[in-house]
Each structure stands twice: as structure tokens, then as C-alpha cells.
Structure 1
Amino acid sequence: MAGSNRSDDWSPEQTFSVVLETAALSEIELSQYCREKGLYPEQVKEWKQSCIAVDQTQAQVRKQLAQERKADHKRIKELERELKRKDAALAETAASLVLKKKLNAYWGEDEDS
């Protein structure tokens, strides 16, 4: 790809490689590098900004996912507490019904009355 200066002809891997290779270069060294590769310094600077923008976007996505995960974890805890409370209430109601049946059987009363 050395003779092509169209940014469309460079793959993302190649542009990222150029950005890495030129990251520590001075303006003069960058200009020399670009002449050797058939690029313009503006292209390399644009590619660098694109890489930074992608990294920032990914950081925002990671942050949003972490927040969603935290909210989901909190919601799960709330639902587990509510389920435990409802299970206890159901067990209490079932025990009450069993006790009522036993008392009715003991006293000889009909369940409907």
C-alpha cells in the first residue's frame, strides 16, 4: 500500500499501525515518514483522531454497560427479597389453612360453615 495516499485504500489495521508508528515522531520526522509512505501528515493526524474517537466511544459503551450491570444487579437483589417475602407469606397462609382444617376436623365442623 506504500504508493497509495487515498485513505480509502488503507485497511483499519494499516491505518492503526501508521498511527502507532508515528505517535512519538516530531513534525519533521512525521513529514519524512509520510513522504516515504506516500501519505499526507493531515491523513495521519485524521487517522489518529479517528482512533481516539473510537477508543472514547468504546470507553463510553463500557461505562454504560457497567452502569446497566449495576442496575440489573440491584434489581435482581430487590426481586429476590420480594420473592423471599412472598414465599414466607405463602408458607404462612398454607400453614394457617392446614391448622384451620385440623381444628375443624377436631371440632367436627364443616369447612363451608
Structure 2
Amino acid sequence: MVYPIQTKEAVIKKVLMGGKPHHEIASEAGIGRSTLTYWLKNHKKNGIENLTDKEKRPQDWSVEQRLNALMETGAMPEGERVSWCRKKGIFSHHLEQWKKDILSLLTPNKASLRVKGTARLKKENAALKKELNRKDKALAETAALLVLKKKANFIWGDPRDD
């Protein structure tokens, strides 16, 4: 489980104050005794600022961190970049993928243009269908009136014949 840095700091401060035994503080905070021991060991070794220096997976990197990594490694030769990646716990192909992702956000891609074009075409298609439906109804009404006129002329005769 990943605990917020504020929780870690608060628990370590309680332990360092020395008011209660470690197991009581751990149970109050809802953490395991081994977790508290690990935090204390890290604190004694590296200080409070390194509580968050847990090795992250590539997908856990924020967009800002990815962009910073790309800027930092952009001018590096390949060997140096691989060494940098190894220290950070990622591979160079992650950098390449992040670069592609950021570039795709900056440039309009064909898919998004296609979606916009498709939306416009769908709207136009709907308008044309609506107009066609209106004209079909008008044509049907005209045909019905013509049929009624012919029937009336047949039954009562054509008024122009008189």
C-alpha cells in the first residue's frame, strides 16, 4: 500500500518524540510494525525527504516528470542515456514512447481530424435526411390531393365541361 508523505512524516515525528512504543503508534496509524520499522530505517539513513524515493514504474511518472526526463536526456549520447535510464528504473524505449505521446498531443493527428470531419459529415447527413423527409411528406400530400381531385372529377364530372 502506498501511504501519503504527510502520513509518513506524522508517524515518524510521533516515534521520534518518544511518547509511546512503536507498536502502539503503528496500530494507531493503521500501518504494520514492519512498515514503521522500514520508514524509520529510511529516515535514519536518508532523512525525511527520501521517504518518497521509492522506485517508480514507468507508468507512474507524471506528465511533467516525463517531459523533464525527455528534456534532460534529449542531448545525451545513447550510452549516457541508457545509464541515466538504468538509474531511474526505466528503459530508453519508455523515453521514445513518451516523446511520441507528447508530440501527438502537440500536433493534430489524422485520427482527430478524421473525427472532426466525420462529425461534420454526420451533422450534414442528418440535415439532408430531415430535408428529404420533409420533401417526401410534401410529395405524398400533393399526390393525395391529385388523386382526390381525379376521384371528384370522376364522380361529379369535370366542372370545366359544363
Gaps of 5+ in 2: 1-53, 158-162
- Superposition RMSD in Å: 3.8
CA distance in 2, matches of 1:94, 1:36: 83
CA distance in 1, matches of 2:70, 2:146: 75
CA distance in 1, matches of 2:86, 2:59: 20
Question: So what's the TM-score if we normalise by structure 1?
Answer: 0.57
State the match for 2:102 in structure 1. Answer: 52
Verify: 1:37 aligned to 2:88, yes or no.
Answer: yes
CA distance in 1, matches of 2:95, 2:109: 21
When residues 97 and 38 of structure 1 are mapped into structure 2, their CA distance, relative to the original with a 3 A threshold, is closer
User: Whose Rg is larger?
Assistant: 2
Gaps of 5+ in 1: 5-9, 108-113
State the match for 1:105 in structure 2. Answer: 155
State the match for 1:78 in structure 2. Answer: 128
Partner amino acid, structure 2, of 1:37: K
Verify: 1:96 aligned to 2:146, yes or no.
Answer: yes
| Residue identity (%) | 12
Equivalent pairs, count: 99
Question: So what's the TM-score if we normalise by structure 2?
Answer: 0.43
When residues 39 and 103 of structure 1 are mapped into structure 2, their CA distance, relative to the original with a 3 A threshold, is closer
When residues 100 and 13 of structure 1 are mapped into structure 2, their CA distance, relative to the original with a 3 A threshold, is farther
